[in-house]
Amino acid sequence: MKKLFIVFFTLGLVIFGGCGEKKSKEKEKLVFAQLSDPKTLDPQNSTDNYSQVAITQIYDRLFEIDEKNGTPVPSLVESYKKINDNILEIVLKKGVKFTNGDSLTAEDVKFTLERAKENPKVAHLYKMIKDVKVLNNNTLEIITEEPFAPLLNHLSHKSSSIINKKEVLKNSENYFNNPVATGPYKVQNWALGDSITLISNENYYKGSPKIKTVIIKAVPEENSRVIGLETGEIDMSLDIPAISWEELEKSGKAKVYSAPSTTTGYVGLNTKSPTLSNKLLRQIIAMAIDKESIVDTIYLGKTKVANQFLAPPVFGYNKDALPQEYNVEKAQQLLEENGLVGTKLKISVSSPERVQVATIIQDQLKKIGIDLEIELLEWGAFLSQTGSGNTDMFIMGWGPSTYDGDYGYYPNIHTSQMGSNGNRAFYSNPKIDSLLELARKENDIEKRKEYYKEIQEILNEDVPLIPLYHGNVVYGVNTNLKNVEATGYPEFYKYEF
């Protein structure tokens, strides 16, 4: 009997010891879910959120944004100073290595910024840069044509993520499939359309991440992301619908982390479409949309009705701005008086949640005599469709990660950015273009605010965009995952189980 007990005891140690070993290994792997997989790992060719989640982990930038106050703080930069209004001197941190062992140099920074300036998607962020002058391996000057107020903020943008000049020139075709960079993670495997697996950069200059493997997985269905959190198949998820917050908290398996974000959810109106080129019709549509009902019904009051395109944390936000008028009776009257009853339109969306928003708008417009068809598209197809102008309306969100009004407005409404570069409303107004250019050159904070105030007043009149709500950044998180905050992009290297 004693012998039998020893056998079972020993066997139990083996079994449970094995489970413990397996559990320990699993604690170094994090599965992160979002609506779509990355479309590219080329930082200078990306403006979509789902690609930038991965880009944030793989690369570093000269500056990052302190989200508590919206100001840029040094990252790869040891020190910096303004020589004059047009020259910024930067000294890089020493000892920063790329994943192939190369040291970060000023030449890599120069190469990155010059490459960004050439890409139409993000060139507007850097077009004021006249020259990048390398003084030595660790020191450079960024010279602008004129004073450039948001320069430091723009140097925190994901498109300014530093790439390895030598490796890009050696293998430009394949570099961005498995980038050589300085960030906390590097690519192990990328299954296009499904997931990307990242492994830790053990030589990361801020210290080796405790989470050794991160799988960023595309999970388009909202319910699947919630169920995955409840079953433990998913450790952390973006895009958690408000209706599921309480359910997750009650499960005891996950917590919801939420904070006000820079994002504004909005309806875009294609001003070049034959129907919506009519400004009066755009104004009528804006009058007929009850934003409050959308916030209360879909977001359960957890977001705020938008009074303008910029969200409260973004520089240039005007707390006193008046939102576009909501007046169903007036909208219906104007529609009838101008022979617009029976107008047919199509609205494109990219997620089930936005289908719900579109359905409410569809019902509201139907009441005044406008028929709205809803089209649900996969994220990549949605970007292509709206970028080419093949829809009347669309629902989207825009959150300037730089926390500056320039990146809030410029890509979305400047004439030069029409189409897939950002201005999906195909809106053009010379006065708006002029104000945007003046605002980015103006170092006086109060004068810059006045420019952005005037821009919003013109937008309220022209209605290329209808701001619906100021959103939150929301994560559903496994209760065992520590050090998580509701930041604009997940910071996996700071987390641990």
Q: To which residue do tokens 């309306």 refer?
A: 393
Q: Where in the chain is the domain with CATH 3.40.190.10?
A: 29-39+183-253+479-494
Q: Are 409 and 399 in contact (CB under 8 A)?
A: no
pLDDT reported for residue 13: 39
Q: Report the CATH number of the 261-472 domain.
A: 3.10.105.10
Q: Is the Cα torsion angle 139, 143, 147, 151 positive or negative in sign?
A: negative
Which 8-state DSSP code applies to residue 327? -
Q: Give me the pLDDT at residue 47, please.
A: 85
The sign of the dihedral angle between the CA atoms of 226, 227, 230, 233 is: negative
Say if strands 139-144 and 393-398 run parallel, antiparallel, or are unpaired.
unpaired
> Quick one: which of 319, 293, 323 has its CA closest to 306?
323
pLDDT tens column, 138-160: 999 999 999 999 999 999 999 99
CATH class of 29-39+183-253+479-494: alpha beta
* pLDDT tens series, the chain, 497 aa: 444 343 333 434 333 344 444 444 457 899 999 999 899 999 999 888 999 999 999 999 999 999 999 999 999 999 999 999 999 999 999 999 999 999 999 999 999 999 999 998 899 999 999 999 999 999 999 999 999 999 999 999 999 999 999 999 999 889 999 999 999 999 999 999 999 999 999 999 999 999 999 999 999 999 999 999 999 999 999 989 888 998 898 899 999 999 999 999 999 999 999 999 999 999 999 999 999 999 999 999 899 999 999 999 999 999 998 888 899 999 999 999 999 999 999 999 999 999 999 999 999 999 999 999 999 999 889 999 999 999 999 999 999 999 999 999 999 999 999 999 899 999 999 999 999 999 999 999 999 999 999 999 999 999 999 999 999 999 999 999 999 999 999 999 999 99
Identify the pLDDT of residue 6: 38
Calculate the alpha carbon distances from 410 to 263, 399, 438 in Å: 15, 12, 12
Name the β-bridge partners of 348.
Answer: 375, 394
Q: Where in the chain is the domain with CATH 3.90.76.10?
A: 60-166
60/249 Cα distance (integer angstroms): 34
Beta bridge partners of 267: 395, 466
Q: What is the pLDDT of residue 148?
A: 96
Q: 3-class DSSP state for residue 26?
A: helix
Distance CA 281, CA 289 (A): 13
Residues of the chain with CATH 3.10.105.10: 261-472
Neighbours of 478 (CB within 10 A): 19
Closest CA to 278 of 335, 327, 326, 349: 335
pLDDT at 234: 97
* pTM for this prediction: 0.87
User: What is the topology classification, in CATH, of domain 60-166?
Assistant: Dipeptide-binding Protein; domain 1 (3.90.76)
